[in-house]
Amino acid sequence: MEKKAEVEIISRKAIKPSSPTSPQSRKLEFSLLDQVIPPIYTAVILFYTSNTNQSNDSSFRSRSEKSDHLQKSLSKTLVHFYPLAGRLNNNTSIECNDEGAHFVEAEIHCRLSEFLKEPDPSLLSHLLPTSDPKATELARNAVLLVQLTEFNCGGIAVSVCPSHKIADASSFCEFLKSWAAVARGHDEVARPEFIGASMLPPVTDQQIERSLEALGDSFITKRFVFDVSKLANLKAKIGSGVQQLVPTNVELVSAIFLRCAIAACQSTTGCFRPALLYQTVNLRRRMAPPMPESTIGNLIWGFPVVVEEESKMDVGDIVARMRKGLKDFCNEKANIFKGENGYSLVFESFKLEGEFFKTGMRMYSCTSRCKFPFYEVDFGWGKPTWIMNPLYAMNTMTLMDTKKGDGIEAWLTLEKQEMAVFESNEELLAFASINPSVVI
């Protein structure tokens, strides 16, 4: 593919709810967990080939027809997800003023098949509305941005970018499922519940929002695809140990990532450096009683997995610590987020993180979107051919199932020198391929 292929913006507009938000719902306060989330947009890019139309419906032949269909169905969906049509009010709330989601329509002058032969993170970022300076200027403080990009072959990419202040992975998935259901003409869609602030109210007397440092030129993002069949032997080996611990695929990939990242850091610095991996947990299913999946907002938290000694880098050891950390977190902490003690838990976690940082410990994070049904998102012309979940943050890995379920796709950002060592690690390459072509 011609690496200089550029995205041409065709139009920009605001999509408002098809009916106005009621006066009593005009303001949505953040929960404390919303407040501590960095002020970034999360994103998913859904790719559809021109022949994914499984119903042989000829209603969506042109980009304009698909765009009109998406806009109308989005407008109807925003009636229920009304905060997504509002504007951010600092770090306290969303003004649900119906100003609308920002919708960008664009073209890219190449074929989708060429684009996906070797997915390039720097090119993929241009399919996001957040990469368009004018869009971000026009949509200042917008909660939701969307971009529809058409390829020369008629294939499309639908990029959806809600503010992380209101959308964790579960919230994001609920919104996409509802939007797709509305687009297919379904009347029965899940009704979102915005109850985070009533569970853990916000604070107003101190600055608690965490920021993310700009990556700069010293960091690079790459894609790896782990083969589930190749993980099976390692899983069996660990499971046959004394602890009888059978790892999940996500645990294995996370442990391999941490082990290889530590080795890469050691190779470039010349010394072993203790490391910590934060594993993100969806609190909804971990609370008692569980919260409904339709609960919208940030109901996530992370628990630390620490490797302090070079002798403790075995994958099985790391997996065992992950499993114990998750069990302890679920048993001792998950339910605390429902009440006043949630405040002390949040700030104690910040204090512990600061102590780790002062010791010079290298910090990593891993977020999994595995098991979420993103590949079921059908707006009326078929299911996605490929999905990308970009998150460009330092020392961060995001995971997602491949479409067929035979692999786990990982997007990883590391310092360039460390990435060069990381991607040549023989242990890693025994289980993963570096940026293989997306098969259409």
* pLDDT score, position 53: 47
- In eight-state DSSP terms, residue 107 is E
Question: To which CATH superfamily is domain 219-370+391-434 assigned?
Answer: Chloramphenicol acetyltransferase-like domain (3.30.559.10)
What is the rounded distance in angstroms from the CA atom of residue 288 to the CA atom of residue 294?
A: 16
User: To which H or E segment does residue 45 belong?
Assistant: strand 44-48
For 129-160, write each residue's pLDDT tens digit.
Answer: 988 888 778 888 999 999 999 999 899 999 99
Calculate the alpha carbon distances from 135 to 97, 101, 126, 128, 140 in Å: 19, 11, 12, 10, 8
- Catalytic site includes residue 168: no
Q: Which of 53-62, 118-127, 376-385, 388-397 has the lowest mean pLDDT?
A: 53-62
Using the predicted structure, report yes or no on whether residue 54 has a pLDDT greater than 60: no
- Catalytic site includes residue 109: no
What is the rounded distance in angstroms from the CA atom of residue 294 to the CA atom of residue 404?
A: 26
What is the rounded distance in angstroms from the CA atom of residue 370 to the CA atom of residue 398?
A: 9
- To the nearest 10°, report the CA torsion of 64, 70, 75, 78: -150
What is the rounded distance in angstroms from the CA atom of residue 211 to the CA atom of residue 39?
A: 7
Task: Over range 213-221, report the average pLDDT.
Answer: 76
The reply to whether 7-199 and 219-370+391-434 are identical in fold is: yes
Using the predicted structure, report yes or no on whether residue 166 has a pLDDT greater than 60: yes
Instruction: Break the chain into its structural domains and give their ranges.
Output: 7-199, 219-370+391-434
Q: Who has greater pLDDT, 95 or 439?
A: 95
Give the pairing type, strands 362-368 and 396-401: parallel
Question: To which CATH superfamily is domain 7-199 assigned?
Answer: Chloramphenicol acetyltransferase-like domain (3.30.559.10)
Residue 85: partners with Cβ closer than 8 Å, 6 or more residues away: 15, 16, 17, 21, 78, 96, 98, 99, 100, 101, 143, 144
Catalytic one of 132, 164, 168, 401? 164
- Written as six digits, the tokens of 217 are 């030129």
- Written as six digits, the tokens of 375 are 């590949």
* Percent with pLDDT over 90 in the chain: 68
Using the predicted structure, report yes or no on whether residue 59 has a pLDDT greater than 90: no
What is the rounded distance in angstroms from the CA atom of residue 297 to the CA atom of residue 93?
A: 12
Using the predicted structure, report yes or no on whether residue 235 has a pLDDT greater than 50: yes
* pLDDT score, position 216: 67
What mean pLDDT is reported for the chain?
89
Catalytic one of 34, 98, 168, 378? 378
